[in-house]
Amino acid sequence: MTWFGLVRKNLFRRPARTLLTAAGVALGVALIVALLSITQGVHRTAGDLIHIGRADFGVFQSDVSDLTRSYLPDSLQAQIRRVPGVEHTARFKLLVTDSGLLFGLDKNEFAIRRFVMLSGRRPTGPTDAVVGDHAKRPLGSVVSSNGQRFPVVGIFHSGDKFLDNAVVLPIAAVQAASHRPNEITTIGVTVKLGWRPQAVAKAIERRFAGVTAVTEPGQAVKVDTSSRLIISTGWIVSLLALIVGGIGVTNTMAMSVFERTQEIGVLRAVGWRSRRIAAMIVSEAIGICVIAAALGLALGVGASELFIRHSALSSLVQPGYGASVWAWGIAFALGVGLAGAIYPTLRAVRLTPIAALRHE
């Protein structure tokens, strides 16, 4: 019998116990995969939002539930322009609606000037709308917002995922539709040649209390309290899942060793060394966790997609499944297996052939 065949035979002597243990570990893996994929998605969203219009960084209100709930006064733009190192600024007002994303921009600021117009023209009047090339709205169609009608006069490409899927209206129109006149979501900033964006961002934060200048997606947690909560809660729950999963694997493998004491005694009597016995027990524990990893990865993907689809984030965030998400999920499962195998392995290798064969 091959080594794999031996491990499989031992695992499925008690199939119900093995599968229940694997299911418990799989829930922990699924939780980690779901939390990390949502976090990656939030960071990717933050990366798009802070560099809208190819800005070097974005200025947001601090400690809001998410980046889209940042409310800054219009008047802040003029003050930020006076900060040393700032070259240009652009105001953005984001509104999430049932029909998609609405962005309010000023036609005279750099964000719109950087649009590549694929057809039609740039907005010039107070009722002109332009749409991204992924928004699937034809030139000449009409966008309705807050009782007003805005003809689509141009189709653009910006390179930003959100803008290219959105409708862009005059900023005053989006402010009126959100019932927050004179308030904006963020201010995009470009810096002068020779200045470092990080240095200018820190100067803005020092000068204006209650705002955060985000230069990198990973810094979004300084603004987005929801992301911060997800990350903190995720690590705490993952630690608890590691402990509970380890106890479950320990219990399963300890019971398996106890039930097979005489078998282990025979193996020792025919010449199996302690390290080979240990390798068998560890392999069985890892086998449980490989099953758990496969189940957990699939459950985690399903859970993250379901959470995003039924939350307010659905129009902004898509779960991210980078290599680190899979690596953490698999590492968790294998870590639980190795931790759970310690005690049963020590018990198995300490058995002497005579004592094991006398066991009943």
Instruction: Judge whether 112 and 122 are in contact, CB under 8 Å.
Output: yes
- The band of 305, judged by pLDDT with boundaries at 50, 70 and 90, is confident
Burial 140-156 (b: 16+ CB within 10 A, else e): eeebebeeeebebbbbb
Amino acid 202 reads K
pLDDT score, position 123 = 93
More confident residue, 218 or 177: 177
Average pLDDT for residues 287-306, to the nearest whole number? Answer: 87
Residues 6+ apart with CB under 8 A from 325: 33, 36, 37, 40
> pLDDT value at position 150?
93
Q: What per-residue confidence (pLDDT) applies to 316? A: 62
Structure confidence at residue 173 (pLDDT): 92
Whether the pLDDT of residue 141 is over 80: the answer is: yes
Q: Given this model, what pLDDT does residue 321 score?
A: 84
pLDDT at 328 over 90: no
137 pLDDT above the threshold of 80: yes
Mean pLDDT of the chain: 82
pLDDT at residue 38, rounded to an integer: 78
Gap between the Cα atoms of 67 and 48, Å rounded? 11
- Tell which wins on pLDDT, 70 or 116: 116
pLDDT tens-digit map of 23-71: 888 888 888 888 888 777 777 766 667 777 788 898 988 877 666 778 8
d(CA 151, CA 144): 9
d(CA 91, CA 111): 9
Q: What integer pLDDT is reported at residue 8 of this predicted model?
A: 75
Q: Write out pLDDT tens, residues 231-285.
A: 667 677 777 777 777 788 888 878 877 777 777 777 777 777 888 888 888 888 8
CA dihedral for 132, 135, 139, 142, sign (positive or negative):
negative
**Helices 274-309/261-269 angle, 10° precision:** 140
Q: Are 42 and 312 in contact (CB under 8 A)?
A: no
For residues 345 and 154, the model is more confident at 154
Give me the pLDDT at residue 303, please: 83
pTM of the model: 0.66
Q: How far apart are CA 100 and CA 81, in angstroms?
A: 31
List, for residues 61-103, the tens digit of each pLDDT value: 887 766 677 889 999 999 999 999 999 999 999 888 777 788 9
Distance between CA atoms of 295 and 2, rounded to whole angstroms? 25
- Check residue 19 and give its pLDDT: 84
